[in-house]
Chain A
Amino acid sequence: MTYTAKGSRPGYDVNSAVDYLNTFNSSFPLLNLDSLALHTGTFNHDLGYYPFFFITDNASGFVPGSVNQFSGNSGEWSMSTTQLVRTTGSTSVRCFVARLDLTSNFSAPYEPGSTVRGNVNPDYVFKIAKDGKSTDSSDMRDFSIHSNTISPLVHKVYKTTMFASGGNYYATVSHGLPYTPLVFAYIRPSTNSLGRSTDRYYMMHPPIGTTDETYLVDRAINSVGGDGSVTAYAAGFSYSAAPEVSLVILKDPFVKDIINVSYP
């Protein structure tokens, strides 16, 4: 017999809600953070594996890990098994490191269900405060878990060596979801002409034209013209052997509640 512990968002029946409307579900992990501190340079995480990471900058909101025209003063960052390494730039940025091993493959089931929202009873809350904080706090930063919030849910981690095709390198995996999910992609370079380390993971950028590497999230499985896959690409003219990639697929849909705006 399999036991499941789960909570759903306010207004959604925990017994029938589709899994991405869970606040937590014992079948798949939250994106649990190890640290989210400000840094100006290389720092140690000492986790002993390559962890999921991203970096934010108040000028751009987000910092791709690989050197490109958008790195600017935020610089180039890459992840080893012990450090988040900065090779360019010196401004203060916030670095998020999660307790999720980019090289440990994981695949969650998809639990279909209802997306119908019922009435919300504000009298019921499930919450766990951080050590030293009060459960009466109104600051969401004081909580480990709070049922009036949502957090990223991990659906799949897929690490593989890319395959050669047409002079370039590719990796592809089915996300297996009936919607387009949010995805992060990381590359561990092979021998390359870009001056990048071969023992660190760099965050890849979604398609922005001609680049050395990129990834694309296809539409939902069974959709017209879509095959429900995530495909990563690395240019053969930059890499002399197949790199490794790690694709982290969240359960969070790209299309959520829609806000329509016309401009100008």
Chain B
Amino acid sequence: MTYIAKISLPGFDVRTATPEQCVLHSGYPPLHSKLGQLQSHSATLVVDFTSGITQNSTRTVFSIDHGYNYIPTSLSSIKITGLSGGLELYGIGYTGVGATLTIKAYCTSTSFIVTVYDNNNWISNATELQVSYNIYAEDGT
């Protein structure tokens, strides 16, 4: 016998509610981000660039150990402002300008890292990068 734990949304009978009509349903779990980690798995990184960066080279601007021995899932909302020409860019996990600017936020098998590649002097001391991230326990790739 399989047991199910579920809470239905307002207006739905929990005994007959479908997973879509549930707040939580033990048969369809959500993503889980650990709390209480020495290096937070849920935070907003703010990178203040003090100058331009080395051109034509991928630079790691942030790195933390996530504590898993596999590649976990991460979701990162990226916002970068103060680029050359007043440009602002946004993205989920990834943003940039063609082959000349790339910002990535993702997990390896040991770390969550944020990298920046600039080959057109997009970044200067006026640039600020914000990455709102969550590292989840579920397998990434």
| Residues of A participating in the B interface, judged by any CB pair closer than 8 Å | 2, 5, 9-10, 24-34, 36, 38, 54, 56-58, 60-64, 69-70, 92-94, 96, 99-101, 104, 120, 128, 130-131, 139-141, 143-146, 148-152, 182, 184, 205-209, 216, 252-264
- Decide if B76 touches A62 in the complex (CB within 8 Å): yes
- Decide if A29 touches B23 in the complex (CB within 8 Å): yes
Neighbour of B104 across the interface among A32, A61, A104, CB < 8 A: A61
Chain B residues contacting A120 (CB-CB under 8 Å) are: 36
| Residues of B participating in the A interface, judged by any CB pair closer than 8 Å | 2, 5, 7-10, 19-20, 22-36, 40, 42-51, 53-54, 59, 61-62, 71, 73-77, 79, 87-98, 104-108, 130, 132, 134, 137-141
- Decide if A143 touches B42 in the complex (CB within 8 Å): no
Neighbour of B36 across the interface among A10, A128, A207, CB < 8 A: A10
Write 19 A-B pairs (CB below 8 A) sorted by A numbering.
A36-B138, A60-B104, A70-B91, A94-B73, A101-B20, A120-B36, A144-B29, A149-B137, A152-B134, A206-B91, A208-B97, A216-B90, A252-B134, A257-B40, A257-B42, A258-B43, A259-B40, A262-B50, A263-B61
Q: How far is the CA of A212 from the CA of B54 in the complex (A)?
A: 32
Which secondary structure characterizes the binding site on chain B? strand
- Of all chain A residues, the one with the shortest Cβ separation from B89 is A208
- Decide if A209 touches B36 in the complex (CB within 8 Å): no
Chain A residues contacting B47 (CB-CB under 8 Å) are: 261-263
